[in-house]
Structure 1
Amino acid sequence: MTPSRTTPGVYVTETPAFGTSIVGIPTAVPVFIGYTQYAGDPVTGALLYGVPVAITSMTEFIAYFGGAAPRSYRVSMAAAGATPDFQASFTVPGSGSIGLDVAMTGFDLSATSPDASQFCLYAHLRLFFANGGGPCYVVSVGSYWSGQSPVVAPDPVPAAWIPAAIAAGDPVTGAPGLLAGLAAAAGKTGPTMIVIPEACQLNLADYGRVACAMLAQAGALQDRMAILDLPGCLMADTVTGLQACQNDLVTAIAPQVTNVGFGVAYAPALNTSIVAPGDILYTNLAAPNGDNSVVNNILTTQANMLYSGAQLATVQTAIATAFPVTRSSTNTTQYSGSTSSATTPPVAYPTPGADLSAWQWTLDRLLLDALPVFQQIMQLIATKMNVLAPSAGLAGIWTMNDSNNGVWDAPANVALDSVTSPFCDMSDAQQGGFNAPLNGEAINIVRSQPNRGSVVWGARTLDGNSQDYRYIQARRTLIYIDQSIRAALQPYAFAANDATTWATVTASVSAFLTGVWQAGGLMGSTASQAFTITCGIGSSMTAQDVLNGDMIVSIMLQMIHPAEFIELTITQAMQG
């Protein structure tokens, strides 16, 4: 610019004295993959299936992906020798009123078979945010209504819509499923955790495909970790059952044993309080095939015991409206309740176009207020719906812990919110087989502790036999440092590979690591004890490296490891 100066005066030229500063990347950004009611942009209406969508709250989740999947439960006689869910009084022709054991089982909306496909991503997101979760990504792999892709699902949902099944899928062949969503997440920069809560319900072969793909992606990208639930954990309410799940996990992830350092597993499932009885309607109990005979009988029998006259007629009509009994030509059993829907329900039917859910809610409140056994049934449904895999809740714990203490602090010894108890209790001796198994594939256990609730009591990766990557915070701190420095050094690509660039890079990395050390992320009484950095010929590079265009920055870190085992040594001293 000097030759172009024509006006006398003072000119200032600023020359940068320091290199580019390094800013730490976000450490706790999970990507959730699963089934939703729909996936669409609330503004444009564009479909967003298979697209990672950034959200920060349940309000945004509902706007983009809708609400919870409908869940249906059936009241039936408990099998001989089985533990009943509750006992109720029935009116049986020729026997009068008798007490019988009652079981409640889940089933899909198209059949009466046990329901193995419980779409629960909505509930898991609620558990995530309840435990301190923040910004995250969600990838919807499809609507939980088979063959449908609604941006907004109609209310009521057409009877012809049949729920889809949770599937692993195959991104190579194009078969929809969880693997396709995982493939979509691979191309997104930003996520640091992979969470697929519904995968634990797959059969072992498909679970293995999904779990291995999660570990493979984390190991290949090295910017995220996979949080795994044990296969079949939703049914494991005993230590023996949980040990079987542990063995299945070992079998499932065997093909990815080289990447287990990027994986973490938690158990058991959790009894949560995410779903309250007030969140459930009688529609969760209405039989899809129309055979409401058992629940109709239970409710009507209690109504006959509690009411008479006009009150009895009102309650009976409400029961018949909510739970009409379908009778076939071969079914001659007479029930104490009505055998068809009431023509004049106690709550007037909504007019066409009116809000059907508000009418259903009003009818539901009438039954709840009038019949204690109906309240009991609703509580049982809530209890069953509240059994959730732990991965999403732990993703929230990781987020909260990073915010409060830093990524280098172990995300353990923290109580979970909205969790009433672990699905399975165990002793210290029993936990040892999970925390330190011979193969090193450790499973972190959530334990119930007096006056503290359900506490995360473990902080190991699946590479528990490694001295380098045994602990979660060591692996995640390395990811944080690696990704932060990597992003900051991008501007130096194609810069002169000389002493000036080496000094600038060394200064930038040193300043960043000094900040990490000062925050408590590295061990050492001084910064020089916490880390060392070398970059240059004779230290980290050779002359041939320079000719090859390689600039090598060598960093040695002194990582922090947790006090996992605390030993008290107590000695009695003699008087005098």
Structure 2
Amino acid sequence: MATTLATPGVYIEEKSSFGSSVVPVQTAVPAFVGYTEKASRGSKSLINKPVKISSFGQFLELFGGAPKTKFNIEVNEDSALGFDLSYVDGSRFMLYNSIKLFYANSGGDCYVVSVGDYSEKVKASKLNDPSGGGLVSLEKYLEPTLLLIPDAILLSKSACYSLQAAMLTHCGYKMKNRFAILDVYNGDQERTFDEKDVVDNFREGVGSNFLQWGAAYYPYLNTTIVNPSDLDYTLIENLDQLVEILTADVDASLEAGTISEARAEGIKLEINKILETTDKDLINSLQSTLSIVCPKLNSILEEVGDMINLMPPSPAMAGAYTMCDNSSSVAKSPANISLGSVISPSIDINNDNQEEMNLPLNGKAINAVRSFAGKGVLVWGARTLDGNSKDYRYISVRRTMTFLEQSIKFAAEAFVFSPNNSTTWSTLKATVINFLNNQWQSGLLAGSSPEEAFNVSIGLGNTMTPNDVLDGVLKMNIKVAITRPAEFIVITFEQQQQKS
């Protein structure tokens, strides 16, 4: 209603020249769930509280450093190295190195949920606590768009599959605004194509629900996240066995005549100090000495480094998703790109091996990470787990649709409780059309014209009935043509007759 003017003077009224706009949501904000050394900001605990960070330095400040992964060593004459290494139960955690691998692959902003420290074993009940911890704590946060739980591979096989199925349910049923990146359990093992096949077991274990909301990658990666020169012998739990192996190696060198008896005795004296030295500075000094006089210790620590550096691919893929989104757009498939701090895949895959992974009968495609001569290590797959779906077969299509849905959803919230009439309908329609037109111009939508790329319908007799208006329901239908990746490129050659 117009304001009655009573006092003489000049009055100014401003009118809006431009309509409201749709603000594009972020598309590459991973959420990591796992165990950390600590979780605090000052005196405030951050356990089971999603925290946004933007650098590895922030992670160190809030969540602490690396776990001290412990190993057992045993003599094995049948092994090429002469010994076997195994992890000490409960000493291995994946989140710290996963964050490092994420940032080594152009990672940016991410959320971290710490469910506990290194004093406890990895438990599925902590990673997905129905009372509100772990995965469940992310239900109150709308910004994360990717979901990773690298520690899942440390659980038992059945617990890992159950947790991964819960991740898909979280993304596709509860939130519908994020995408899960999964690792194949025992993904460092060769495929056997029988009942023990790691890929087939993953397909059976992950279930059949909400498959379009996740993608899986195989195999694990040999990385350079941990420098073997930074490791020392204290990572070996059974030091007496280590001393025995090193002493036997010195005796073998003595028998072969490569060292003198006096030098052998001197080296043995240094080796025996392993069992006596507890001071940190003395340990560092002894480590420096042994690394020079005892090559066997160097080979053991190199093997320890290789085991620690064997990483699941999901953290590197989270960085790859971020890089693709920031450098191009969410419509760019996170494939045919190299991975940083990665030496090689742990298993070599060729075209024949990948054929069944990419086009299985059950549709549960597993994306391969492969090594190509002259190109390096490349991600060579762009499919969701719902490979038989024509709608959401590709990761880029699923994530693009999520981006459009969430962006328009937040913009439409401004019209809640507005009059359900033609004025509101036309304003909302114009807002959405402007947004979709911008996305078409940026290459997110397919078509030679906006009319071919999208269609927006709204109005009485079109998308709504008189009863809808009476019930306070406003309905709008949007159709979009999303660009899809050229997964198979076929080039046909034939000869033609000479013309001159």
Measured against the shorter chain, the TM-score band is over 0.9
Residues in 1 aligned to 2:347 and 2:58: alpha-carbon distance in whole angstroms: 33
Gap change, CA 1:568 and 1:14, over 3 Å in 2: same
Spell out, residue by residue over 1:380-402, the C-alpha distance to the aligned partner (whole angstroms, 9 max, x if none). Answer: 11111111111111011000000
Give the SS at the match of 1:36.
coil
Q: 1:279 aligns with which of 230, 234, 258?
A: 230
Q: 1:124 aligns with which of 76, 93, 98?
A: 98
Q: In the alignment, what sits opposite 2:453?
A: 530
The question of whether the paired residues in 2 share the 8 Å contact of 1:117 and 1:165 is answered with no
The question of whether the paired residues in 1 share the 8 Å contact of 2:226 and 2:308 is answered with yes
Q: 2:272 aligns with which of 295, 303, 320?
A: 320
Q: In the alignment, what sits opposite 2:182?
A: 228
Gap change, CA 1:75 and 1:207, over 3 Å in 2: closer
Spell out, residue by residue over 1:197-235, the C-alpha distance to the aligned partner (whole angstroms, 9 max, x if none). Answer: 12123222212220111011111211001111112223x
Q: Which amino acid aligns with 1:121?
A: L
Q: In the alignment, what sits opposite 2:109?
A: 135
Gap change, CA 1:410 and 1:262, over 3 Å in 2: same
Bigger mean CA deviation after superposition, 498-507 or 297-306:
297-306
Give the SS at the match of 1:551.
coil
Residues in 2 aligned to 1:31 and 1:194: alpha-carbon distance in whole angstroms: 5
Give the SS at the match of 1:76.
strand
Residues in 2 aligned to 1:144 and 1:428: alpha-carbon distance in whole angstroms: 41
Q: Count the aligned residue pairs.
A: 494
Give the SS at the match of 2:398.
helix
Alpha-carbon distance, 1:239 to partner: 6.0
Q: Which amino acid aligns with 1:295?
A: I
Spell out, residue by residue over 1:529-562, the C-alpha distance to the aligned partner (whole angstroms, 9 max, x if none). Answer: 1111111112221111111111111111011111
Gap change, CA 1:5 and 1:298, over 3 Å in 2: farther
Q: In the alignment, what sits opposite 2:7?
A: 6
Spell out, residue by residue over 1:315-361, the C-alpha distance to the aligned partner (whole angstroms, 9 max, x if none). Answer: 4443222x22xxxxxxxxxxxxxxxx37xxxxxx86xxxxx3x5433
Gap change, CA 1:14 and 1:367, over 3 Å in 2: same
1:265 lines up with 2:216 in the alignment:
yes
Alpha-carbon distance, 1:8 to partner: 2.7
The question of whether the paired residues in 2 share the 8 Å contact of 1:238 and 1:424 is answered with no
Residues in 1 aligned to 2:451 and 2:282: alpha-carbon distance in whole angstroms: 70
Matches within 5 A, 1:97-246: 102-108=82-88, 115=89, 118-146=92-120, 164-169=121-126, 180-220=133-173, 221-234=175-188, 236-238=189-191, 240=193, 244-246=197-199
The question of whether the paired residues in 2 share the 8 Å contact of 1:414 and 1:455 is answered with yes
Q: In the alignment, what sits opposite 1:29?
A: 29
1:70 lines up with 2:44 in the alignment:
no
Gap change, CA 1:237 and 1:70, over 3 Å in 2: farther
Residues in 2 aligned to 1:302 and 1:500: alpha-carbon distance in whole angstroms: 90
Q: 1:439 aligns with which of 341, 346, 362?
A: 362
Give 5+ residue unaligned stretches, structure 1. 87-101, 109-114, 147-163, 325-340, 343-348, 351-355
Gap change, CA 1:138 and 1:307, over 3 Å in 2: farther
Residues in 1 aligned to 2:286 and 2:136: alpha-carbon distance in whole angstroms: 45
Give the TM-score of the pair, scaled to structure 1.
Answer: 0.81
Gap change, CA 1:531 and 1:387, over 3 Å in 2: same
Residues in 2 aligned to 1:508 and 1:363: alpha-carbon distance in whole angstroms: 69
The question of whether the paired residues in 1 share the 8 Å contact of 2:29 and 2:143 is answered with yes
Residues in 2 aligned to 1:241 and 1:55: alpha-carbon distance in whole angstroms: 43
Residues in 2 aligned to 1:298 and 1:120: alpha-carbon distance in whole angstroms: 34
Q: In the alignment, what sits opposite 1:573?
A: 496
Q: Which amino acid aligns with 2:287?
A: D
Residues in 2 aligned to 1:172 and 1:394: alpha-carbon distance in whole angstroms: 26
Give the SS at the match of 2:35.
strand
